[in-house]
C-alpha cells in the first residue's frame, strides 16, 4: 500500500516526482493545484470561488480544499493508495486529513519533504512560466509556504512520519533516492 504526501516549496519538483512515482506504483497522483486549475478552466462552482486565490498566489480557503480532497480520496481508484501533492498545506488541513484517514481506517502515511533552497526554486519557476509564476507572485507563494506550510514539517516529524529528501539534484537522482528510501521504509 502506497500512501505518500509531498511537502516542499513551490518549484521543489513535487509534481514531477509525484507523477513518476504514481506511474511506477500504479496509484493516482492527486495534485490539489491541478484539480483547482482544471476547475477554474471548466468554471465549475469550485473553480469560480478558487480563481482569485490561485491567480494571486494565496491559499484557497481550507474548507473548499478539504471538501475537494475528501471527495477525491473516496473514489474507487484510491483503494491501493495515492500520492498527494499540494495537500495538506496548513496545520488545519493536516488535522483534517488525519481525521479523514482515521474515519476511513487508513494509517501508515509517509510524508516526503522535498528540500530545495529559495533561490533555486525561484529560478525554476521563472523558467516554467505558468500563469501564477511571475516573480512577485512566486515570492508571495514562497512566503505563504514558509508561514503556513513549513510548520507541517515539525508536525509530521513529531509523528515520526517525515522523510527529508534533497530536491536540489537532477530529477533522475531525486527519483532514484525517493524509490530507495520509500521501498526501505
> Is 128 a known ligand-binding residue?
yes
Closest Cα to residue 170, out of 9, 49, 17? 17
Strands 81-85 and 110-115 come out as unpaired
11 Rama sector, left if φ>0, alpha if ψ -120 to 50, beta otherwise: left
> Is 141 a known ligand-binding residue?
yes
> Is 87 a known ligand-binding residue?
yes
Q: In the complex with ligand ADP, which residue's Cβ is closer, 80 or 99?
A: 99
Over the window 131 to 150, marking each residue x when it contacts ligand ADP by CB under 6 A and - when it does not, the resulting string is: ----------x---------
Looking up cell 507523477 gives 19
Closest Cα to residue 133, out of 80, 54, 77, 15? 54
Q: In the complex with ligand ADP, which residue's Cβ is closer, 59 or 164?
A: 59
Residue 59 contacts ligand ADP per CB under 6 A: yes
Number of residues counted as binding ligand ADP (CB under 6 A) = 17
d(CA 59, CA 160): 27
Report which residue's Cβ sits closest to ligand ADP: 33
Binding site for ligand ADP (CB under 6 A): 10-11, 32-33, 36, 53-54, 57-60, 65, 86-87, 89, 93, 141
Amino acid at each position: 500500500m502506497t500512501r505518500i504526501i509531498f511537502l516542499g516549496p513551490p518549484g521543489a519538483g513535487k509534481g514531477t516526482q509525484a507523477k513518476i512515482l504514481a506511474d511506477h506504483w500504479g496509484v493516482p497522483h492527486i495534485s490539489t493545484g491541478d484539480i483547482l486549475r482544471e476547475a477554474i478552466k471548466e468554471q465549475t462552482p469550485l473553480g469560480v470561488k478558487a480563481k482569485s486565490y490561485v491567480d494571486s498566489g494565496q491559499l484557497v480557503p481550507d474548507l473548499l480544499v478539504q471538501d475537494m480532497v475528501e471527495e477525491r480520496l473516496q473514489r474507487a481508484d484510491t483503494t491501493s493508495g495515492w500520492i498527494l501533492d499540494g495537500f495538506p498545506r496548513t496545520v488545519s488541513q493536516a488535522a483534517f486529513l488525519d481525521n479523514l484517514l482515521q474515519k476511513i481506517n487508513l494509517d501508515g502515511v509517509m510524508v516526503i519533504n522535498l528540500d530545495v533552497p529559495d533561490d533555486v526554486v525561484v529560478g525554476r519557476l521563472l523558467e516554467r512560466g505558468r500563469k501564477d509564476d511571475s516573480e512577485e507572485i512566486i515570492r508571495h507563494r514562497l512566503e505563504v509556504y514558509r508561514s503556513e506550510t513549513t510548520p507541517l514539517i515539525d508536525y509530521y516529524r513529531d509523528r515520526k512520519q517525515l522523510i527529508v529528501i534533497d530536491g536540489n539534484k537532477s530529477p533522475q537522482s531525486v527519483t532514484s533516492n525517493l524509490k530507495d528510501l520509500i521501498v526501505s521504509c
